[in-house]
Amino acid sequence: MSKIDKKDKISRPRGTRDILPDEMEKRRRYELIMREIAENYGYREIQTPVFENLELFTIKSGEDIIEEIYNFKDKHGRELALRPELTAPVLRAFVNECSVMPKPLRFYYIANCFRYERPQKGRYREFWQFGVELIGSGSHLADAEVILLAYNILRELKLDFELKIGHVGLLRHLLREIEEEKASKIMRLIDKKDEKGLKELVREPSIPAELEKNIYELIEAEGSRDVVDDVSKIIPDYDFSQINNLCDVLDALGVEYSLDFGIARGLDYYTGVVFEVYAKSGLGAQNQLCGGGSYRLAHLFGGQDIPSTGFALGFDRIAEICKISPEKRDTVVVINLGYEAETLKIAETIRNEINKRVITDVMGRNLKKQMSFANDVGADYVVIVGEREIKQNRFVVKDMRTGEQKLLSVEEIVSLLK
């Protein structure tokens, strides 16, 4: 008889993880909170394909994005990519399917995304995002609504965080007289906090010394809304009404925030207000929980040039630090002592009448082993279905928390467990 080779275990791919039931219950709880708040604001869920045409992401983010994503050719040679984020797919869906719908449109989503990057705490190659897109309004009220929505979600999750708000229009206005490619590069360096790269670039002969000075003064401007007065001296010919109106609304609503004009959100489609949210503890250096702002993207996908505002929450990072427990559901184990049909019928009655987790034995174990299993799974109640119980039409119900036992009919069991 030949010896069967023992196979090595097949590991999960690097940068992914298995999310087991205890963790999944927590994540579903957080997800439910996010969904309920978004829907209370009038947002409706949208779902897009896991993979898209590669061009969707290179148009939005440039060819450099290819190094950071999972891209491939299908059997007909078409260039595709697993989605690295959701904003582009949602705007593509808007252009394809929703452009004639009444505006503004309010969408939310929660879905997995994929990036080929170095895994680290709270950052994986497969990760989940929760986000919203408000499409069709360029008003400060749209900015305020989206910021307030993100703020209230994070508060409801009882997270300790700080909200920072900026405006990329200021930096774009400051850089308007230099070549577009160089201006975009400066924006990206600021966005990545690459101080060395920025210093080298702004000291090139093509960058006037006065502009270099103004860039640094602008991106270092941070604090309460009074900082707007300081920035207006750096850029005296800029209209600050959008920022001031936004601050007026947020102040009236009691939103805690600071202004930070060093937030660049370096991608070219961001146009105005931008914001980021950081966890104050629990995540180390990778502590950003949320990023968003106002942008124009639909025209790149063949639609009208319309304003939008949105954000994406890093769901995995939130799950790392959120301490809200999932809502507990009582567990009932119905002990099967050989009377399979009767056991399953009683279990079904309990499931149908009340919202309980009801488990029956499917392994033919004896009473002692089934009771041990009930203890292992943390059962709150045990119902024993045996010959004597069936004849009497009354069944032993044991409260596993107190040890108390009662002999009850099925109707009384349901009443007890409600």
**Residue 5 predicted with pLDDT over 80:** no
Of residues 240 and 118, more confidently modeled: 240
> For residue 282, what pLDDT band results from cuts at 50, 70 and 90?
confident
Residues 90-98: what's their mean pLDDT?
Answer: 96
> For residue 4, what pLDDT band results from cuts at 50, 70 and 90?
low
Q: How far is it, in rounded angstroms, from Cα 384 to Cα 238?
A: 77
Say which range, 1-15, 174-188, 216-230, 280-294, has the weakest mean pLDDT. Answer: 1-15
pLDDT at position 237 is 92
pLDDT at position 64 is 81
Q: Per-residue pLDDT tens for 119-172?
A: 766 578 999 999 999 999 999 999 999 999 999 999 999 999 999 999 999 998
Q: What Å distances lie between residue 294 and 60, 158, 173, 306, 313, CA to CA?
A: 15, 26, 16, 11, 15
pTM over 0.75: yes
> For residue 316, what pLDDT band results from cuts at 50, 70 and 90?
very high
Residues 85-92: what's their mean pLDDT?
Answer: 96
| CA-based nearest residue to 407, from 417, 395, 415 | 395
Residues 225-239: what's their mean pLDDT?
Answer: 93
- How much is the mean pLDDT over the chain? 92
pLDDT at position 266 is 57
Q: Per-residue pLDDT tens for 38-77?
A: 999 999 999 999 999 999 999 887 788 899 999 999 999 9
**Residue 6 predicted with pLDDT over 80:** no
Percent of the chain scoring above 70 in pLDDT: 97
User: Cα 367–373–376 angle (5° rounding)?
Assistant: 145
Q: How far is it, in rounded angstroms, from Cα 385 to Cα 412?
A: 15
Q: Per-residue pLDDT tens for 301-311?
A: 999 999 999 99
pLDDT at position 315 is 95
Percent of the chain scoring above 90 in pLDDT: 78
Q: Which residues pair with 166 in a beta bridge?
A: 274
Give the single-character DSSP code of 13: P
Residues 309-326: what's their mean pLDDT?
Answer: 94
Of residues 97 and 7, more confidently modeled: 97
Say which range, 74-88, 184-198, 209-223, 237-251, has the weakest mean pLDDT. Answer: 184-198
Contact present, 341 and 388 (Cβ < 8 Å): no
Domains of the chain, CATH where assigned: 21-321 (3.30.930.10), 331-417 (3.40.50.800)
**Among the residues of 163-226, which ranges form H helices?**
168-174, 180-191, 195-202, 209-219
